[in-house]
Structure 1
Amino acid sequence: MPPASSRCCFYTYHDTNQDEDKRVEWAIHKNPRNVLITVPPPRLFRDKETRPEAANLPSLGMISSKIWQSGQEIVIGFLAGSEWQRNQVKRYAPLWTRYANIRFTFLDHRPSDGADVLIGFDSAEGSWSSRGTDCSYFSSRGIKSMNLSWIMSQRSQADIRATILHQFGHALGLVHEHASPQVPVRVDRNRIFEDLNPWQSPWDPFRLDKVYPTDRLLATSNGCSIMLNYLPPYWTQHRMSLRHNTDLSEEDKDYMKFYYPPENHGVGYFNTLEIRSTNDPITLDAYIKTIPSRQKHADLIAGLTWIDLEPNTLEGPYVRVSAAVHEDRITAQIKAWPTSRLHAAGMAWLEIGPRFHFIQHGKFRLCDLTTPLDNFSRNSEVIEFSTPFPSPPTVVCFVTGVQVMQSNYRLLVDAVDVSSTRFTLKIGTWGGTDLRAAKVTWLAYPADQPGVASGEICTSDIRSWNQPQQENSAFTPFPTAFTKTPNVLLALKGFDCSRFSGLRLRVCTSLVTPTGFYWHIQGWTSIYSGCASYFAWED
């Protein structure tokens, strides 16, 4: 490799599209939280001029993060390298663990199996790493998942530290900072080919100038990030240079704290992909997950976060989730009916215990309608609080089940006419949608309650309904900033999707800060609109 590339990351050297959907399912199996947060992956790199057939290709890969389980031990194995090279990795990689709730264990012998990350030191390949749980997907198959070129005594300790921290950032799930549309860079492909061809490098330089579209990534320009890939100025058009960062930035540390929090804050998640593949849809089944509860006899608030199903008959698709605590165990269930072909579905829940003594909550089920609701009509139910509030509280609603006949999938739930003693729950549809059943959970809390916040996010905040798209993202500020990063429960409260390609969407976050959070409503088909409710609290 030429000296110019010694600080450059050859990201996704060997695994850009290989088994992508299998790797997503692997990531969810490794960590169910991957369905609730998103880190923009390489498959969002769409070059419409050279790959028009892939420009709008939906994939599980475009909607899943690949972070490890918080608190996990990640086993690092070495396929090669001198003792000095391995010691450099052991010295610098653990710097991430000061901010991420994970730990590294290094194998000194040549591993035959059991390693989550397999590291090589081949100088002909450059430095690169697979992303997050992709590392263990490849290492479980005996394939190298990271390569660290140029970890050599001739280089400065700053350069060695930068290389190791950068690649372990990928191994922990991060992508390149310069992929942000706010950090534009265009490479000089001809010059790179001239420099790399003598080394017969299989690396594809076309990847370096792929930029996430602005409608698919909400990001700030973190020019100090260790994930900002350095490029020599003569490899770029206009001879611009990206800075060479050698240590973690404050934003890098914040991302790690968000992705790998120190403990479980009472939010749980379940997705059918933890149990079975999306490629083998079923028509009738119940998926059950049982996990320990943080507290005995706690109540739960649950909501749908992910729906991927299509009608099996003219009766329309039907999906329902439920969750309950029995003794010290939580039983979560996702069920589909014979009218549906369920590819996947997901849910999130919050344990309501002494911490939330000020919350009242309940469920409402709209079902067994013999005729569809009239156009633009809203079925309503007056809900009485078990104990009156001193003043009108804040009410938050989540969808936990829905049945729609063979028509566009439209649903919106809302709380209106809120008083200190009651509120009206409205379940609405429009445009000729034949809604036959719906299930909703709700919670209410004093509007002036300190340390909590709630609200809703919707695609209508950023675009018109008649401009459907698969990826919808924005930043939503909290009504009042928290003193530290809060916990957030986010679940669906409504949607409007075409009937021709099934009900297929999910809601997730990519980063929560004390002032607000980045949200994403994503789909495998174009979404006319989508809405979700959130409840945030500070421990």
Structure 2
Amino acid sequence: MRVAMVHLAKSRPDNGHFSTEEVRRREKPSISTSRPISFAPGQYEEPPNLAAGFSSLDVSCEGPIRANLIADNITKDNFRIAVESWGQSTLFSASTTWIEHKASAKECIFGQFDTQDASLSPAKSATAPKAALTRRMAVETEPVPRKYAKNFDFPQPFREPVEVVCWINRLDMSSGRDHDYKIRAFADEVDEQGFTAHLNTWDNGELHGAAMCWVAFPKRKPHVDSGRFSTNDVRKRTDPRPKTTAKVKFKQRFEVVPTVLSALSMVDAAGNADLRVKVSVSEVTREGFKWTLETWDDSTLYAAGASWSVIALGFP
């Protein structure tokens, strides 16, 4: 039986990660699970920009697959992180990853894309970053749209090639034997002026809505690195495994061991069991790290992908 809301009032220090199991047990699902997170004392002089995505999901197949990640009540000292579900969906647990920077940071732009924007519906962002200006909107029209896209202009053009990191932070999908869980968030047509954000499903996936955050910054910035990895880098979709791992080598060698932040950008899983997917990072050195994408119990993970970022010294 679900309860309406479980909130842990005790704040804890910011480490870039949150799990609903910090607040409640998996066996006690709730519609909303939240707690406050405290920034380091004196870290910010004003509320920072913040972007967040899911790093794990465990949602029942007995109803729709619905999860929404919220970061709100952001001040210079703290913010609230929350994971929500709604309707007939049962969310057993979820984990999240976020990245934040001071609002005045140069060459580091945060934004949010929601399929409701692309369909000209009122926007309901799952996080609260400051979005960039839009150039145009497009959506492929079908009874249940399969592809959503929106173009973004950067507030000021970059002077060098740009990297855009995308993380899923809301999803609403059908479940059951007829509907596998398929969602992908990505950016293309990236240049110094802007890019196009995408939220897609395919084949027998049925995506009723979704959202993603994005973070844009120069590719060649010192002390900064990012990229994407996928089970498709290691194995074929037709060879599903409970756990897939590989290593990533940084494009530069860091002076100290950096923090690697990673969250989901693609999921392709069987709809006849609960959605269970997790991305994790381990064995981080100054040269690289090991990633793992996994599922468990009776779930089948055909493929999954994640985006990662290292911003060791930040932006001025």
Provide TM-score, normalisation by structure 2: 0.80
Unaligned runs of 5+ in 1: 1-28, 30-68, 70-263
Spell out, residue by residue over 1:401-445, the C-alpha distance to the aligned partner (whole angstroms, 9 max, x if none).
111113100011111001111101111211121111111000101
Letter in 1 for 2:66: Y
What is residue 163 of structure 1 aligned with on the other side? none
* Structure 1 residues 370 and 293, CA gap change in structure 2 (3 angstroms): farther
Q: Give, in angstroms, the shift of residue 465 of structure 1.
A: 0.5
User: 2:283 aligns to what SS in structure 1?
Assistant: strand
- The yes-or-no answer on 1:529 pairing with 2:303 is yes
Report the aligned-residue RMSD: 2.2
* Structure 1 residues 403 and 370, CA gap change in structure 2 (3 angstroms): farther
Q: Distance in 1 between matches of 2:167 and 2:251?
A: 20
Q: Distance in 2 between matches of 1:341 and 1:538?
A: 37
- Which of 108, 111, 118 is equivalent to 1:359? 108
Letter in 1 for 2:149: S
- Which of 382, 385, 389 is equivalent to 2:154? 385
Structure number, greater radius of gyration: 1
Q: Give, in angstroms, the shift of residue 327 of structure 1.
A: 4.2
Q: Distance in 2 between matches of 1:413 and 1:538?
A: 25
What is residue 396 of structure 1 aligned with on the other side? 165
User: 1:487 aligns to what SS in structure 2?
Assistant: coil
Task: Flag the structure with higher helix content.
Answer: 1
What is residue 516 of structure 1 aligned with on the other side? 288
Q: Distance in 2 between matches of 1:476 and 1:538?
A: 17
User: 1:273 aligns to what SS in structure 2?
Assistant: helix
Contact 1:267 1:489 in 2 (8 A): no
Letter in 1 for 2:282: S
Structure with bigger RCO (C-alpha 8 Å, 6+ apart): 2
* Structure 1 residues 370 and 335, CA gap change in structure 2 (3 angstroms): farther
- Which of 28, 47, 54 is equivalent to 1:297? 47
Q: Distance in 2 between matches of 1:455 and 1:349?
A: 16
Contact 1:311 1:339 in 2 (8 A): no
What is residue 218 of structure 1 aligned with on the other side? none
Q: Distance in 1 between matches of 2:276 and 2:105?
A: 33
Provide TM-score, normalisation by structure 1: 0.48
Q: Distance in 1 between matches of 2:225 and 2:76?
A: 30
Count of paired positions: 271
Q: Give, in angstroms, the shift of residue 339 of structure 1.
A: 2.7
Q: Give, in angstroms, the shift of residue 489 of structure 1.
A: 1.0
Q: Distance in 1 between matches of 2:259 and 2:105?
A: 13
- The yes-or-no answer on 1:323 pairing with 2:97 is no
Q: Distance in 2 between matches of 1:496 and 1:320?
A: 19
Deviation >6 Å, runs of 4+: none
Q: Distance in 2 between matches of 1:507 and 1:500?
A: 21
Q: Distance in 2 between matches of 1:363 and 1:437?
A: 14
What is residue 193 of structure 2 aligned with on the other side? 421
Q: Give, in angstroms, the shift of residue 373 of structure 1.
A: 2.6
Spell out, residue by residue over 1:337-372, the C-alpha distance to the aligned partner (whole angstroms, 9 max, x if none).
123111101111122127953201100111479832
User: 1:326 aligns to what SS in structure 2?
Assistant: coil
Letter in 1 for 2:94: A
- Which of 284, 306, 317 is equivalent to 2:56? 306
Contact 2:98 2:261 in 1 (8 A): yes
Identity %: 26
Q: Give, in angstroms, the shift of residue 498 of structure 1.
A: 0.5
